[in-house]
Amino acid sequence: MPAEYLPLTSATQWSTRAARFATALGGKVGPTGITNSKDMVTQLTDKLYDFAVWYAATRWVPSGELLGPAATEACTHMRRAAQEVATVLVATLSRCSIHGSSPIQAAAPYPAPSPPTPCKSTLLDAASINPSAVRKQLEEWRKDLGKRFQ
């Protein structure tokens, strides 16, 4: 897989890496860049948000770094932060798919900071009220997954 994304056999392969990466993420790339940018941002936002919530619930809550009201407060920023990251990534890949020889580097204009949204994560809401319940749920999932991989 890395050899497909970063081939070193020709300059043409190197200059099309952004377009190939965008395609691998679900983008449709044409001569003007990514043609389904809005859909791609939506899909990536969902995935990045899910990752952020999962990471917070499995790393910060069990370690005690994210407890009480801070868990819900952090969650209220995760969806919009995920959307901002997805927007910048898609714009960067779109621009670089047109200009293949340029560096893959984010550039302005960046999305404006966005306001918080309600937390829709039952895990992080639970962490704000009863972190031990979250730890218990995570341990049950770990045991269940362990059985599936034996």
Residue-number span of the structural domain to which 6 is assigned: 2-148
> What pLDDT, on a 0 to 100 scale, did the predictor assign at position 143?
83
Whether residue 68 contacts residue 97, with contact meaning beta carbons closer than 8 Å, is answered with no
- The arithmetic mean of pLDDT across residues 145-150, rounded, is 73
Tell me the pLDDT tens digit for each residue of 108-120. 889 988 899 998 8
Which residue from 77, 115, 97 is spatially nearest to 32, judged by alpha carbons? 97
The reported pTM is 0.80
- Phi and psi at residue 33, to the nearest 5°: 110, -150
Tell me the pLDDT tens digit for each residue of 32-86. 999 999 999 999 999 999 999 988 988 888 888 888 888 889 999 999 999 999 9
> What pLDDT, on a 0 to 100 scale, did the predictor assign at position 141?
79
- The count of structural domains within the chain is 1
> What pLDDT, on a 0 to 100 scale, did the predictor assign at position 8?
61
CA distance 56 to 51: 8
Angle, alpha carbons 130-134-135 (nearest 5°): 110
> What pLDDT, on a 0 to 100 scale, did the predictor assign at position 71?
87
Whether residue 122 contacts residue 137, with contact meaning beta carbons closer than 8 Å, is answered with no
